A and B are shown apart, each in its own frame.
Chain A
C-alpha cells in the first residue's frame, strides 16, 4: 500500500488473504446488524422530538417474540462466522509434516533465529517461499510475542514452555516482524525483518552463510561435552533411557501415564527431570536448568530429533 496513508497491510501468504476475507465479511455483517440502531435512533429522535406533532398512538412496551428474535437471529448469524474463524484457527495450529523447522529464541530485546543447517540470525529471518515453515519458540526471560503482520499471525513465547507457529509464505519480499507482548524498557525497538525468498535464492543464502556445522551436529557435540552421552550414549553402563528413536514415540511414565516424547517433554526431562520419570528407570538424572541456555537446549533437541528414525526405544 502506498500513498498518503496506508489502510491495509500487505499479504505474504494465502492464509493472510483468508483472514482478510473473514474480517471483511464479518464487518459487513456487523454493519448490517448495527445500522438499524443508528438509523432508527436518529430518525426517532427527529421525528418524535418533544413538542413536534406526530402519531404517538398505541406505543408498544413489550413484545416478547420480537425481543427473542432480535436476540437470536444476530446470534445465529454470528455463529456461522464463529465456525469459519475457528476452522481457520485450528488450521493455524495443526502443524504440517515435513515443515522446515526454524528455532526462535527471544530475549530482552532481540530475536535470535537458528536454521537447521546451523545458520544463525539476529532480528532477521530468511524463509523460502512456498514451503511450510514451523517455528519452535522459546523465551529466555519474560513473555514476548512474535508478530508478523504480513502473515496475520502472532504467538506468545512463554518462559518455560515451547510454543510454535507455522506458515507458508508465498510472496517474496521483506516484511516487518515485531514483539507484541510488552516486555520491558525497549519493547518498541524489539523488531526486525521477515524476509521471504524464492527457494533458489534461499538455498543460495544458506550457502553463503558461514556455518561450521548443522544444528543437530552442534547438539551432538553438546551431548558429549555436557556429559549426556555418559548415561544416554550407546556404550553407557548407567541404566538410562536411550535417545535413539525417542522423538515422537510414546513414553510410559512411572505413574502409569503415557506421554508422547515431543519437544516440551524432552525439554522438561532435561530441565525438570524429576517431574516426569520414565517407567523402569531410577531417579538419577540431574537438572540442567542452570547449565544450559535456551539455544543449547534447542540444539540438543535438534540432535535428539535427528536420531528419531534410528531404532526403537528400549
Chain B
C-alpha cells in the first residue's frame, strides 16, 4: 500500500499549500482540546460524528439486547423466558430503537458527518452549530426512549397501528411517540445541512460529475429525510392527540379511519427503508472501487440510481397494505411501482460486479464486508420482489417471511455497510490501524451468523408462522432453534470488532494518510485529519476514482 503523493491525483503543486504532510505539523481534530467541554460544545463535524458514533453504537447494543431476549424466548414454543406482555414490549423496543436510533442515523450521522466535508473539500458542514444541535436533539429523543424503557416499555409494535395504539394499549405510547417525534427533527436538520453543504461548499473543481458516490447517496438520502420525516412527525402528533384527547381522526366510531393512519405512517416509513439503505449503497460503492483499485463502472448510472431510488421510493408505500382492505386496483399499482424501484437497485449491483472485472482486488476487511453486503442485499432485495407480487404477499404478509426480508435489507445491508465503513475509514478517523486478520474473521462471522439467523425465517414464514408471536406451534421449533443459534454467532460477531477496534485505539500502529491507496479528497489529509481539514481549500482537476488503468499498446 504505497502512499502516493496527493498532487498526482488532484493536480496540485507544492506551492498551493494543498495537503502536503511535510508542512507545519497541524494538530489533529482528536487533540484539539481534551476536556469533556471541548467535545460537548464542539462544532467540528468530525467530533460530532464521533459523538454520534458513541451514542448510536450504545443504542445498537440496547436494541440488540432486546433482540437477544426475544431469540432466547423463542427457543421453546411456549416462550418460557418472557410473559406475553414482556415479549410484546421487547419486540416493540427492539424495533423503535433499531429503526430510529440506530439504522436511520447510523451511516449518515456518523460517516456522512465525518466524510462529506472532507470528500468535497470543505472545512465543515454548512451549519456547524445546527449540526451540534441535531446531536442534542437526537440525545433528547434517546432520553425519552430510555424513559420508556425504564418505565416498562410500550407494547404496540414499532408501527403504532391504530386503534391498538390510540385506544387499547397499556404501554407508554405517548412518550414513545414523543421520542420518535423528537428524533425526527434531528433527521430533518441533518438532511437540510447535508443538502446545503453539497450545494454550497464544494471546493473549486468539485463538479457534480466529480462527487464521490458516497456523497451522491447522502444527497439522495437527505432529500428523503427532509420530505418524508415531517409526515411521520405529524402522524405521531395525531396518534398522541387521539390517545390523549380522543380526537377521532383514526377512530371509526367517530367517523375516522384506521387505514388513514397506515397510509400516513408508510408514506414515511417506506422511504425510511431507503434512508437506511441508500447511504449503505454509497459506502459499498466506495469500498468496491477502492478494493478493486479501479474506477467504478458506469459512474452516472450508479449516481443517478440513488436519485431514482429516492424519488420512486415515495410511490410504493401501499405495498404494506395489500391485505388491509385497500382497493385492489390501488394494490395493483403499488405492486407495479414496487417492481420499478428494483431496477435502480439492480443497476448498482450489476455495476459493482462489472467494477471488479479486471481490477486489482484487495481482500482486506472493507472489501469482505462489501461482499457480505452484496450477498445479503441481493437476497433481501429479491425477496422484496417476491413480496411485491400480490398473490404471494397475501400469503406471507405479516409472517416471518417479511421479518427475514426486512432484516436482510435493513440489518444485513445497512449494518454490514456500517461495519464496512467503520473498517475502511477507521484509520482515517482514529489515526490507528487495526488487525486485518480479526477484521476478516468478523466479516466472515457476521455473514455466516446472519444467514443462519434469518434464512430459516423465510421458511418459517412460508409455513405460516405469523410475526410478533411469543408462543407458536411446536412444529416450528426446529427452525426457531436454528435461528436462535445463528443469533448467538451474530451477536458475538457484532461484539468482536469493538474489541479489536478499541484495542487499536491504544495499541494500533499509526495510520498513514492513505492506507488503502484509495482516491478521494479525504485520503489527502493526514490521519486523523486536522481540526480545519484543509489548510487551504483544494482544487480538483481530475474525475473521481481516477485509478491508473492498464491500456493495451499504450494507446490513450
Taking Cβ atoms with an 8 Å cutoff, the residues of A that contact B are 4-9, 18-19, 22-23, 26-27, 30, 33-34, 36-38, 40-41, 44-45, 48-51, 54-64, 66-67, 70-72, 74-75, 78-79, 81-82, 85-86, 88-90, 92-93, 108, 141-143, 145, 147, 149-150, 152-156, 158-161, 163, 176, 178-189, 272, 275, 289
Contact = CB atoms under 8 A, between A and B. Distances in A.
B254 to A, nearest CB: 10
Given A37-B378, A62-B298, A89 B390 contact: yes
B263 interface: no
Interface string B373-395: 01100110010011001111011
Given A48-B356, A56-B550, A88-B390, A67 B301 contact: yes
Interface in B320-371: 322-325, 328, 331-332, 335-336, 339-340, 342-344, 346-347, 349-354, 356-363, 367, 371
A59 B550 contact: yes
Contacts, number: 275
Contacts of B551: 57-58
Contacts of A180: 397-399, 466-467
B471 A189 contact: yes
B401 to A, nearest CB: 10
B253 interface: yes
A272 B169 CA distance: 26
The 7 A-B residue pairs whose C-beta atoms are closest, nearest first, are A160-B252, A149-B464, A89-B390, A88-B391, A188-B469, A44-B356, A85-B389
Contacts of B399: 147, 180
Contact of B339 (A82, A182, A187): A82
B293 to A, nearest CB: 7
B112 interface: no
Interface stretch (B2-10, B435-443, B473-481): B473-481
Interface stretch (B62-70, B160-168, B235-243): B160-168
Contacts of A181: 161, 398
A259 to B, nearest CB: 16
Contacts of B295: 61
A148 B331 CA distance: 21
A50 B360 contact: yes
Nearest to A87: B391
A37 B374 contact: yes
B84 A186 contact: yes
Interface of B: 79, 84-85, 88, 155-157, 161, 163-164, 167-169, 252-253, 255-259, 292-301, 322-325, 328, 331-332, 335-336, 339-340, 342-344, 346-347, 349-354, 356-363, 367, 371, 374-375, 378-379, 382, 385-386, 389-392, 394-395, 397-399, 459, 462-464, 466-473, 475, 478-479, 549-552
Given A79-B339, A156-B325, 9 more contacts: A6-B463, A56-B550, A61-B299, A85-B390, A153-B395, A158-B324, A176-B473, A188-B79, A188-B468
A36 B353 contact: yes
A179 B164 CA distance: 14
B475 A6 contact: yes
A33 B375 CA distance: 13
B309 to A, nearest CB: 13
Contacts of B363: 45, 49-50
Nearest to B87: A188
B163 A26 contact: no
21 contacts: A23-B389, A38-B378, A44-B361, A49-B361, A50-B360, A50-B361, A58-B550, A58-B551, A62-B298, A66-B354, A75-B342, A86-B390, A142-B164, A147-B464, A156-B325, A158-B259, A160-B257, A182-B467, A188-B469, A188-B470, A189-B471
A9 to B, nearest CB: 5
A59 B357 contact: yes
Kindly name the residue among B296, B344, B467 whose own CB sees the greatest number of chain A CB atoms within 10 A: B467
A34 to B, nearest CB: 5
A113 B168 CA distance: 23
Nearest to B363: A49
B391 A22 contact: yes
A176 B359 contact: no
B339 A178 contact: no
Contact of A70 (B346, B386, B395): B346
Contact of B85 (A90, A147, A185): A185
A168 B354 CA distance: 49
Contacts of B297: 60-62
Given A37-B350, A37-B378, A156-B325, A179 B395 contact: no
B374 A145 contact: no
Nearest to B85: A185
Contacts of B163: 141-143, 159
Contacts of A142: 161, 163-164, 167-168
Contacts of B323: 145, 154-156
A187 B468 contact: yes
B534 to A, nearest CB: 28
B360 A78 contact: no
Nearest to B301: A67
Contact of B298 (A63, A93, A188): A63
A67 B351 contact: yes
A155 B393 CA distance: 11
B394 A153 contact: yes
Contacts of A182: 88, 156-157, 161, 164, 398, 467-468
Given A48-B356, A86-B332, A59 B382 contact: no
A161 B394 contact: no
Contacts of A44: 353, 356-357, 359, 361
A19 B550 contact: no
Contact of A75 (B339, B354, B371): B339
Contacts of B325: 155-156, 158, 161, 163
A50 B369 CA distance: 17
A8 B460 CA distance: 9
A57 B360 contact: no
B478 to A, nearest CB: 4
B328 A9 contact: no
A228 to B, nearest CB: 20
Contacts of B255: 272, 275
B288 to A, nearest CB: 9
B478 A176 contact: no
B304 to A, nearest CB: 10
Nearest to B166: A142
Contacts of A78: 339, 342, 385
A18 B167 CA distance: 40
B478 A5 contact: yes
Contact of A161 (B252, B360, B395, B470): B252
A67 B308 CA distance: 15
B385 to A, nearest CB: 6
B389 A82 contact: yes
B227 to A, nearest CB: 25
Contacts of A81: 389
Nearest to B257: A160
A283 B35 CA distance: 74
Contacts of A74: 343, 346
A7 B401 CA distance: 13
Given A6-B463, A158-B259, A161-B325, A71 B357 contact: no
A30 B349 CA distance: 14
Contacts of B300: 62
